[in-house]
Chains A and B, each alone.
Chain A
């Protein structure tokens, strides 16, 4: 392993840093070997920080500057195919620009890790937090995990390589957080000692990935044409199959992380006071994390409410949701910070959650919610209000009468002329 310049003694340190810097530190501590960089607000300081690390010889990586996000991901295909640990970061329009290459990466089963500082999709031009960018590519075969805190952003990068590079998984991995709300705010982040991190996350195999390695000594052809009668369908099945089987690897890695570093990330979901809850909000991201405050406020008044936070949306936490449905919850609000135009609810995740309801023995009432688009703030008071609306649905079967109820979903804060 390359010797890196040690600026501090090899011990744990706590540094106040932005969410973006937490991502860059995660990549540095994971000893990534190829970084491909292109700037876009609000992720730019991730790749800028990494260029500093490389310049100061604190990270021994090949830093590639390209002319577009499509080339970013294309260059990482090349880098990853030689067995290197690869990394990049992007947002919004940049993620959409690299979409074709996202498929190339996952279909080649390359364990690339990318962090996303999510921003609104244009037009209208909007650089603030919402997740439509990542949600619109949710089916391309990448594992998708939301990080709700700065510490979680850093820790997730370490775990992501361990999961992605597992021989039974071999899938690329997104870590997603909110543009500006998380990317540009600062919090203390505990950085473990590099030797502890190296113990948790070994380097990639010297011979390259077992299934695909570009080696001039042993040339191969990859991505061969397959006729309809040949195994195209079967190769595509393998991707879905590995994604489903990755759930075990994810849970095991989280458990190992807890043993090594002491921080517990639950699993595919995090349940907050859901045990005896009758009204639960199901959501993801830091905005979901915030609703814990709404839960606490209402619990103090004796209301049985809870937050069910999705950490992963790919693979989808099917079993965890079915367990929630069978737990006695009476009404769920599913809040999306992103859109899926024309789908049953207008929200990508709410429709997917609702698709599981038929498997439950219980009859549960549902309120799909769309909130926070384009970085519009959602306050704790508004979240308390949503819980109260859910309780009214449960008790009186009274759905919200607001004009912001459109096509069966509550578009929180929709300007209705009142």
Chain B
């Protein structure tokens, strides 16, 4: 068994040399961004209009990737390193405060 890094910036990956060393099932501790900066996948980018926002937090609840940062009473912010631009937040916002802006052709 040896530990290596998949890329210079990636998390440590354990490489097993024998089946006898394997755990029973594939289980790993959570790590952020282990598959890379998925924000690169985006075509449309969500932008929150702070004026329209009523700070309900619905966008935060619905975001499937958990990239919306929300503190009660504040306008949420979005982690664009990992936001894939799926648009669910924009569809769900009751105030229509989130617009999907095309980022690239």
A residues lining the B interface (CB < 8 Å): 107-109, 170, 210-212, 219-224, 226, 231, 234-235, 237-238, 241
Contacts and interface: CB of A to CB of B under 8 A. Distances in A.
Interface of B: 16, 19, 22-30
Contacts of B27: 211-212, 220-222, 224
28 contacts: A108-B25, A109-B24, A109-B25, A170-B24, A210-B24, A211-B24, A212-B24, A212-B25, A212-B27, A220-B28, A220-B29, A221-B29, A221-B30, A222-B25, A222-B26, A223-B26, A224-B26, A224-B27, A224-B28, A226-B26, A231-B16, A231-B19, A231-B26, A235-B22, A235-B25, A235-B26, A237-B19, A238-B22
A219 B28 CA distance: 9
Nearest to A108: B25
Nearest to A233: B19
A386 B104 CA distance: 77
Contacts of B22: 231, 234-235, 238
Nearest 5 pairs of A and B residues by beta carbon: A211-B24, A234-B19, A224-B26, A109-B24, A222-B27
Nearest to B34: A221
Contacts, number: 47
Contacts of A231: 16, 19, 22, 26
A25 B24 CA distance: 31
Contacts of A223: 25-26
A304 to B, nearest CB: 46
B2 to A, nearest CB: 13
Contacts of A226: 26
A204 B26 CA distance: 22
Nearest to A226: B26
Nearest to A232: B26
A113 to B, nearest CB: 18
A40 to B, nearest CB: 30
Given A219-B30, A220-B30, A221-B30, A211 B25 contact: yes
B19 A238 contact: yes
Most buried by A among B16, B23, B26, B29: B26
A10 B19 CA distance: 47
A143 to B, nearest CB: 16
Contacts of B29: 219-221
Nearest to A212: B25
Nearest to A242: B24
